[in-house]
Amino acid sequence: MAKVKNERKTENLVRDALRDLGYYAEENHITVEEQKSEAEQIRRLLRNGSKSKAGGVGAPEFIITCARSSPDFVVVIECKAHATDHQSPNAEMIFAGDDVQESEVDCIRRLTRYGVDGVLHYASKLSKDYNVIAVAVSGETKSGMRVSTFLHGKGAGRPKYLVSKIDESKIEEILPWSDYLDHAVFDPAVRLARLDDLMAFARELHVFMRDHAKLTESEKPLLVSGTLIALQNKPFAAAYELYSAEALPKAWMKAIRDEINDAEIPQAKKDNMTQPYASIAVHPELGKISVKWVKGVLYELIRMIQLKAAPLMAATDGTDILGQFYGEFLKYTGGDKKALGIVLTPRHITELFALIGKVNKKSIVLDICAGTGGFLVSAMSEMMRGANTEAERNRIKMKGLIGIEQQPNMFALAASNMILRGDGKANLFQGSCFEPAITKAVAKFKADVGMLNPPFSQGDADLHELRFVQQMLDLLAKGGIGIAIVPMSCAISPHPLREELLREHTLEAVMSMPTELFYPVGVVTCIMVFTAHVPHKLSNRKTWFGYWKEDGFVKTKHKGRVDLDSAWSEIRGRWITSYLNREVHPGESVLQQVSASDEWCAEAYMETDYSTLGPLDMEDEIRKYVVYRIMNEGDYSEVESDFEAE
């Protein structure tokens, strides 16, 4: 009995900590359960989680969920009275995946006695359907309390320590729910699992909107973003179920307008933000009811989005959620992405840009072709990592992010992306990035980092990709870093704009990107990095060329290119270190003095490490060359003649 009493002391310490951190506050909508759960899904997963054969259904001391903000997460806490029972001697080996020879009886004793071992046992059961934050707590006093925190991602093979997103130190204290979530969503495995869930929902939503709402592909992401904004309006979120099917679209539109009108921005900009949603609100199918949808199609859509998409918007992991929806919906049409040259930037590349630009809490980031706001979202995430005070966070939101987007629907998506992240919408401009009034306003910000994915293959000479690059650089402060991802033809084909660029700016680096980076869109790209307003000749610097062809992503059915083996983090670190230090490695990078008439790509100057090459490498390079020529020039006969000549 003494041991039970002592363990109750530990439970009381944990309970007090949870109370102090707001877990029991009604407005936070967090559910704290002890010893058992009312959630059928959790009960089912723990049904076989007993740590002893006679123990019935096993359960940790505390099971914590928040269905409203993050239904895919659960926090479990296991308590032990004494520090000697915190973790078994074999825990680290088992944790690392090593085989430990022990009998079933010894295994049961270990799981029953030790806090870390026990909570990881429960996490392994729950991780089939949840991202699990597993916390082991031991000690009878607040000063002597020991805390270990682990993350077992949904579907992951084994757990890992939960670490701070700021400095990657281990989390060794009980944290508020939002802080647990904030650190966990930066884990690559968690991100991948959440993205998989999101894309599965996007496909489900596409079918529903096609069959029942009769929305076009360009209208679908607007309905998603508008609903996410409307759900930010507390009266609407609490009462939308009470509206009739006929009245709900009008209430939906009013909630969006109320949220946008709260912004301290000119009325004209508010009108630009709301206009695209107004056409959705009067769509005749949304107010219809049927035997299956007795509350109407719009009600069903709002319910689905509130349950499955809204929680993911609370994450600060830098994911452009609306961009992901937009990209998924575009898969079902060849119209928008071809006619407008829209090629959405993969998220891992928007993150890469933030690292190339050395974005920090003091940066001012500009994107003159903002699209859905992917670059701004990634930049904001990187800036927020280093922000320690509310004043620093407010500066980032109010002054650190500037975007321009011409297409009204895309502008609405970018603006809603910023709204859903707290702010940043005040410095979004709707119109052409070449419009004098807009460029004058943007230039006043003196942005020091520019990020750009311009429209591809517009045909009009005045809208060549390099013209957009030039415009971005012209709008940056002197010495600012401009980063653009453009078709490889911009780097190897003669063009008068290349000379104009070097006359005013320094070409710091060019990186050749993976051939199928934008799959299924067939375009081979490179990243160009410039220093703004420092003429290339005056800088007298060699340009750094990187051969960044293998990013670890693999084409998979229904998912596109995916980081299946979680290799991207290591590859990205190697790339960035090599770039920042201007390192030269055979087969990977080279320094070369270039002019406007030279080729701007690593392939033209790089030394080959022949010791590593074999016949299969030759065949692979020939295939890549053929694919490159077909994708960029579309003339297979020339490719054939090239090889015949050789």
Facing residues of 487 across strands? 525
Q: What is the pLDDT of residue 502?
A: 97
SS3 111: helix
pLDDT tens profile 355-381:
999 999 999 999 999 988 889 989 998
pLDDT tens profile 99-118:
777 888 888 888 889 999 99
| Better pLDDT: 136 or 212 | 136
SS3 559: coil
Q: Cα separations (Å) of 266 from 366, 425, 427?
A: 20, 11, 11
Q: What is the pLDDT of residue 168?
A: 83
Q: What is the pLDDT of residue 54?
A: 37
User: Does residue 109 lie in a domain region?
Assistant: yes
Give the count of beta carbons closer than 10 Å to the beta carbon of residue 243. 19
Q: What is the pLDDT of residue 48?
A: 64
pLDDT tens profile 494-510:
999 999 999 999 999 99
Q: Indicate if the pLDDT at residue 627 is higher than 80.
A: no
Regarding whether 148 and 19 lie in a shared domain, the answer is: yes
Q: Between vectors from CA 423 to CA 481 and to CA 175, what angle results, nearest 5°? A: 100
pLDDT tens profile 523-534:
899 999 999 999
Regarding whether 625 and 533 lie in a shared domain, the answer is: no
- Can you tell me the distance from the alpha carbon of 10 to that of 137, in angstroms, rounded to the nearest whole number? 8
Q: Indicate if the pLDDT at residue 423 is higher than 70.
A: no
Question: Is-cis flag, bond preceding 535, omega within 30?
Answer: no
User: Does residue 197 lie in a domain region?
Assistant: no
- Can you tell me the distance from the alpha carbon of 420 to that of 366, in angstroms, rounded to the nearest whole number? 19
Question: What percent of the chain shows pLDDT beyond 70?
Answer: 87
Regarding whether 164 and 88 lie in a shared domain, the answer is: yes
Q: Indicate if the pLDDT at residue 56 is higher than 90.
A: no
Regarding whether 179 and 48 lie in a shared domain, the answer is: yes
Domain boundary among 184, 202, 231: 184
Q: Indicate if the pLDDT at residue 645 is higher than 50.
A: no
Taking alpha carbons only, the member of 534, 540, 528, 527 closest to residue 593 is 540
User: Does residue 79 lie in a domain region?
Assistant: yes
Regarding whether 173 and 77 lie in a shared domain, the answer is: yes
* Least confident span in 213-217, 277-281, 301-305, 542-546: 213-217
Q: Cα separations (Å) of 32 from 7, 182, 490, 563?
A: 18, 19, 57, 35
Q: Indicate if the pLDDT at residue 336 is higher than 50.
A: no
Q: Cα separations (Å) of 555 from 88, 323, 572?
A: 42, 19, 19
Strand order in the sheet with 525-531: 428-430, 401-405, 365-367, 449-452, 481-487, 525-531, 506-512, 543-547, 589-592
Q: What is the DSSP string of 253-305?
A: HHHHHHHHHTSSS-HHHHHHHHHHHHHHHT-TTTT---SS-TT-HHHHHHHHH
User: Does residue 232 lie in a domain region?
Assistant: no
- Can you tell me the distance from the alpha carbon of 588 to that of 608, in angstroms, rounded to the nearest whole number? 9
User: Does residue 377 lie in a domain region?
Assistant: no
Domain boundary among 135, 156, 184: 184
Regarding whether 43 and 115 lie in a shared domain, the answer is: yes
* Least confident span in 122-126, 246-250, 541-545, 628-632: 628-632
Regarding whether 600 and 621 lie in a shared domain, the answer is: no
- Can you tell me the distance from the alpha carbon of 305 to that of 135, in angstroms, rounded to the nearest whole number? 31
Per-position b or e across 207-240, b if 16+ CB within 10 A of its CB: ebbeebbebebbbbbbbbbbbbbbbbbeebbeeb
Regarding whether 634 and 520 lie in a shared domain, the answer is: no
Residue 322 token pair:
């609306």
Q: What is the pLDDT of residue 496?
A: 93
Regarding whether 622 and 572 lie in a shared domain, the answer is: no
Q: Indicate if the pLDDT at residue 484 is higher than 80.
A: yes
Regarding whether 601 and 504 lie in a shared domain, the answer is: yes
Contact between 371 and 456 (Cβ < 8 Å): no
User: Does residue 133 lie in a domain region?
Assistant: yes
Backbone angles phi, psi at 611, to 5 degrees: -65, -20
Q: Indicate if the pLDDT at residue 493 is higher than 50.
A: yes
Q: What is the pLDDT of residue 215?
A: 86
pLDDT tens profile 193-250:
777 788 888 888 888 888 888 888 778 888 988 998 999 888 999 899 999 999 999 9
User: Does residue 506 lie in a domain region?
Assistant: yes
Q: What is the pLDDT of residue 314?
A: 56
Q: Indicate if the pLDDT at residue 73 is higher than 70.
A: yes
End-to-end CA distance of the chain: 87
Mean pLDDT of the chain: 85
Q: What is the pLDDT of residue 508?
A: 98
Mean pLDDT of 606-612: 67
Task: Grade residue 462 by pLDDT with cuts at 50, 70 and 90.
Answer: low
Task: Grade residue 3 by pLDDT with cuts at 50, 70 and 90.
Answer: very low
User: Does residue 623 lie in a domain region?
Assistant: yes
pLDDT tens profile 251-274:
999 999 998 887 767 787 788 888
Domain boundary among 144, 161, 184: 184
Residue 130 token pair:
């949840």
| Better pLDDT: 136 or 386 | 136
Residue 72 token pair:
């895919």
Task: Grade residue 334 by pLDDT with cuts at 50, 70 and 90.
Answer: very low
154 CB contacts (<8 Å, ≥6 apart)?
72, 127, 128, 129, 130, 131, 132, 190, 193
| Better pLDDT: 315 or 614 | 614
| Better pLDDT: 29 or 420 | 29
> What does DSSP assign to residue 514?
P
Q: Between vectors from CA 544 to CA 543 and to CA 547, what angle results, nearest 5°? A: 135
Task: Grade residue 177 by pLDDT with cuts at 50, 70 and 90.
Answer: very high
Q: What is the pLDDT of residue 189?
A: 77
Contact between 151 and 190 (Cβ < 8 Å): yes
Regarding whether 43 and 67 lie in a shared domain, the answer is: yes
pLDDT tens profile 303-317:
999 888 877 765 555
Contact between 300 and 293 (Cβ < 8 Å): yes
Mean pLDDT of 566-586: 94
Boundaries of domain holding 629: 613-645
CATH of the domain at 111: 3.90.1570
CA 516 to chain centre: 20
Domains: count for the chain: 3
Ranges 276-290, 400-414, 580-594, most confident: 580-594
Regarding whether 107 and 73 lie in a shared domain, the answer is: yes
Q: What is the pLDDT of residue 344?
A: 77
